[in-house]
Amino acid sequence: MQRPPHYGLGLAALGALVLTPDTLLMRLSQMDGLAMLVWRALALGTVFWAIFLLTSRAPRNLGLLLTRPGLTVIACQSANAALFSLGISMAPVAVVLLAVATMPVWAALLSRLLYGEPTRRSTWITMAAVLLGIALAVSGKRGTGHGTTEASNTLVGALCGLGVALTLGLSFVTLRHAPRLPLLPAMGSGALISGLCGLVLIAPGALTDGHALPILATGLLILPISFFCLSSASRHTAAANVSLLMLLETVLGPVWVWAFLPESPSPRMLLGGAIVVASLALYILSTRRRPVPTSSLAKFAGGEAPRAEGAEPPARPPAARP
């Protein structure tokens, strides 16, 4: 069935918005990195596999999990789960989220390097605008006492955020070019692997330090819904588009924290958030269908179907992309 032009963008926007309160719940749990990793990853992996087994009468394509795209997505999901939890526990949230905000650049570069997928000029312009807004937003954020402010731990947290950006970008690019790969088992397997590794490494009794309910909410509700929407969206729109919409978490995540914890946003944060939201809104509006020019109608008369300016090319074959 033919999907609407904005189906992929709508899925990505929904997934990004659902993800925004994630860091607030991580803060409320008051757990260390390994404990958050175990709770979140095991819950996420269990939910994905349970949904898959309950909704698939005759599971197919499971063998694709052992192919290069399948193993790539599993490894990316596992690394992403581990790096984000550890990064949030070691560094200020703003540092980690700013590093994660580089994901559009990684996605665009990986799309070009691995599959030769071109990136439109409007995408690069939007990337520059949203990164500028995010840099402005986090530049005025004060420390909150969560994690450590030591330079070494802050650097490690930033590196963890960059790792999350790289692995998520690679995962979205891979899924776009592997449409037959089953999403739920791939993401669920990666999460379970990461959670089991954390369970082996964590100290006895550390799992009960803090509050488990907020972390269970992220692992059972927020992460499954958001990751499924975002990963599904990567099959209907360019990975760079998904990454751009995920930048909403970088700005809206601190707003959630401010709403429930005594952390008021600075004027720079409000201004930076406005720049990001406005840039994304303009970018999405630019993908709307426009009147088909005469040259396109001439091509259509010769047998080539016209495509609206800014619309995403078909996912397969890659050679058909402009």
pLDDT band per the 50, 70, 90 thresholds, residue 301: very low
Report if residue 316 sits inside a domain.
Answer: no
- Residue type at 141 in one-letter notation: K
- Residue-wise pLDDT for 221-266, tens only, equals 998 898 788 878 877 777 667 767 877 887 788 778 778 877 666 7
Question: Is the pLDDT reported for residue 149 higher than 70?
Answer: no
pTM: 0.72
Question: Is the pLDDT reported for residue 289 higher than 70?
Answer: no
pLDDT of residue 78: 94
Going by the DSSP 8-state scheme, the letter that residue 309 receives in this structure is T
pLDDT band per the 50, 70, 90 thresholds, residue 1: low
Report if residue 298 sits inside a domain.
Answer: no
Report if residue 306 sits inside a domain.
Answer: no
Percentage with pLDDT > 70 across the chain:
79
Question: Is the pLDDT reported for residue 23 higher than 80?
Answer: yes
**15-29, 98-112, 281-295: which is most confident:** 15-29
Q: What is the CA radius of gyration of the chain?
A: 20
Going by the DSSP 8-state scheme, the letter that residue 222 receives in this structure is I
Q: What is the mean pLDDT of residues 208-226?
A: 89
Q: What is the mean pLDDT of residues 22-32?
A: 89
pLDDT of residue 151: 62
- Residue type at 71 in one-letter notation: L
Q: Which of 119, 154, 156 is nearest to 138 (CA)?
A: 154
118: containing domain: 7-289
Distance CA 87, CA 94 (A): 11
Question: Is the pLDDT reported for residue 68 higher than 80?
Answer: yes
Report if residue 297 sits inside a domain.
Answer: no
Question: Is the pLDDT reported for residue 158 higher than 50?
Answer: yes
pLDDT of residue 317: 33
Q: Please provide the average confidence, as pLDDT, over all residues in the chain.
A: 77
Six token digits for residue 122: 């409007």
Distance CA 92, CA 2 (A): 44
E strand segments, the chain? none
pLDDT of residue 194: 94
pLDDT band per the 50, 70, 90 thresholds, residue 190: very high
pLDDT of residue 134: 77
pLDDT band per the 50, 70, 90 thresholds, residue 12: confident
pLDDT band per the 50, 70, 90 thresholds, residue 122: confident
Higher pLDDT residue, 297 or 193? Answer: 193
Q: What is the mean pLDDT of residues 214-224?
A: 90
Report if residue 317 sits inside a domain.
Answer: no
Report if residue 133 sits inside a domain.
Answer: yes
Going from the C-alpha of 131 to that of each of 99, 137, 245, 247, 273, the distances in angstroms are 10, 10, 12, 9, 10
Instruction: Count how many domains the chain has.
Output: 1
Question: Is the pLDDT reported for residue 193 higher than 90?
Answer: yes
> Which of 18-22, 136-140, 314-318 has the weakest average pLDDT?
314-318
Report if residue 271 sits inside a domain.
Answer: yes
pLDDT of residue 39: 93
pLDDT of residue 290: 43
Report if residue 62 sits inside a domain.
Answer: yes
Q: In which residue are the tokens 């997505």 written?
A: 73
Six token digits for residue 164: 């999350």
Determine phi and psi for 177, rounding to 5 degrees.
-105, 10
pLDDT band per the 50, 70, 90 thresholds, residue 80: very high
pLDDT of residue 239: 63
